[in-house]
Amino acid sequence: MALRYHRRILPTAAPMMRTVLTALLAMCFFPCALAASDPLATLAEQSAFKRTGHYDEVIRLCAAFAGKYPQAVRCIEFGKTPEGRPMQALVVSRSGALEPASAQARKLPVVLMQGGIHAGEIDGKDAGFLVLREVLEGRLAKGVLDKLVWVFVPVFNVDGHERFKAWNRPNQRGPEEMGWRTTAQNLNLNRDYVKADAPEMQAMLALMNAWDPIALVDLHVTDGAQFEHDISINVEPLYSGDAELRKAGLALRSAVVEKLASQGSLPLAFYPSFVEYDNPQSGFADGVPPPRFSHGYMPLRNRFGVLVETHSWKDYATRVRATRNTIVDMLELTAEHGRAWQTLAAAADQRAEQLGGSEVPLSYKASEKSHLIDFRGYAYTRTPSEISGALMTRYDESRPMIWKIPLRDDVQADATISAPQGGYVIPAAHAEKVGARLALHGIAFHVIERPLPKAALQSFRASKTTFGAKPFEDHQTLTLEGSWKNETRDIAAGSLFVPIRQAKARLLIAMLEPQAPDSLAAWGEFNGAFEMKEYMESYVAEDVARQMLKDDPQVAAEFNARLASDADFAKDPFARLTFFAQRHASWDERFNLYPVLRSALPL
């Protein structure tokens, strides 16, 4: 009997029967007794999904699949890791389009799937190789490879994958050993899509620019509470991005969830992280991730981002099976709807070119509106711990229980800006650094060849700066308060002009608007602009202040009003002296000036 019919009874079966059926299903579905001599077998399959292989297995399988199916599989190296390991991908299609130009010429939809961005969460690698063999052998998803190109990256974080041992994922059941979450440089790749610090991410963005996938499917394993649900699916655009693409994103998420339910999973259409840590009764809040994450990044390119999270407390065989089904479902849906998605994406690209002057969201948040949902959890207690002293939740997996808990899924724009009509100007002093970042994402810009004296522009000056108290992803982050104001400034030759009129305008705005959550400014790339480099000695400032109070009645009035209305200012000697220093000719007019400008006209 086919897998799909076997497993439809699982969600409604009694817990004991479901456990037995799951075990039987694993035995009948996974050919665990594959001979070690089979060149396309994985260690996971051979070990009944107790273990997973090292990266040399990926290298072997990449070559083996390409060798056995040369007309359908191409094995490519698309980058090198900091420790010198090859980053490999498999390009899979029976259309004959195994190069980007061929796929684009034939208008074939491309779906990019990546495993092991967090290398301890390695379900995607073993599930992907399993699907690859089954599809190429014609045992499932027949005909899909004629209608699309599948780019499969088994392991994105290769160096982290080889930091291999037990307990690298203490909140996860299986495999026996696995890789590490971060790269050899201790960077979390799923915080790096916009800033693109890691060589691995730079290689991935180049791969993405070459193939222009209509969807990126990012294969993960979640942490968190213990419950019965085995997988969650998150898709963007759905709350964010282009309005027409949102409709397709909702349809895509619904279709994957429906397919997974028919295949025996208990899928969720939101990320199952409690509003209050470790408190089930606080419920869940849906939302839009910032673009440091894969599925927050893709809608800024007017493409689909699909986050797949199996549940860490399920055993490895169960998780691989759910991931395997998701991969198959995405291949089938892309084969069926991929060309329509491409048409929608092309129209979204054109609409993005018209964003100049319009209101564009920078971030999103769920409102306080909620509704109760039935969530399949376990009986639990919440009692103080004699170890930590904290209130702790303890789950009883022998007692499934329906939790009636709130879900907040009314997601709205949390902050918006009015996009510039023309574009952004990068002064020559920052052109090389910023230009390199923009180029990584395929954002168009050009060099301003001649000086432009007294150009009419907008500048952003910070009224308040808040630096991160500790490093985050090798950066000191920065939160800015302030506003854009019209002024004239001299533009030197060698500066850059970045037009807003381009398909990646949403991504451009996310990178260069200083108050966007993952802008270059927010990641601390311009922190020097917000450091005071010259100052007035206190004894000098005292004399300057007395002279100003004597010579300028308006300054005196402002100072006295500030003393009367602002208690913090009144008791802060430095702030009081700075009041006068800012009004003196010696003050650095570039201090707190964001070193990116806006233009209402093309330059």
* Res 450: pLDDT: 97
Is the confidence at residue 493, as pLDDT, over 60? yes
Say how many C-beta atoms besides its own lie within 10 A of residue 492's C-beta.
Answer: 14
State how far the Cα of 187 lies from the Cα of 174, in Å rounded to an integer: 24
Average pLDDT across the chain, whole number: 93
**Could you tell me which of 314, 310, 288 has the C-alpha nearest to residue 299?**
288
* Res 191: pLDDT: 98
Work out the percent of the chain whose per-residue pLDDT is above 90. 90
Q: Where do the domains of the chain lie, and which CATH numbers do they carry?
A: 31-273+284-353 (3.40.630.10), 371-407 (no CATH), 419-532 (no CATH), 538-581 (no CATH)
Q: What is the pLDDT of residues 47-102, one digit of tens each?
A: 999 999 999 999 999 999 999 999 999 999 999 999 999 999 999 999 999 999 99
Q: Quote the tokens at residue 152.
A: 């499969």
Side-chain half-sphere exposure of 338, counting CA atoms within 13 A: 29
Q: What is the pLDDT of residues 254-276, one digit of tens each?
A: 999 999 999 999 999 999 999 99
Beta strand segments in 237-370, E: 267-268, 284-285, 304-311, 359-366
State how far the Cα of 55 lies from the Cα of 62, in Å rounded to an integer: 11
pLDDT band, residue 7 (cuts 50/70/90): very low
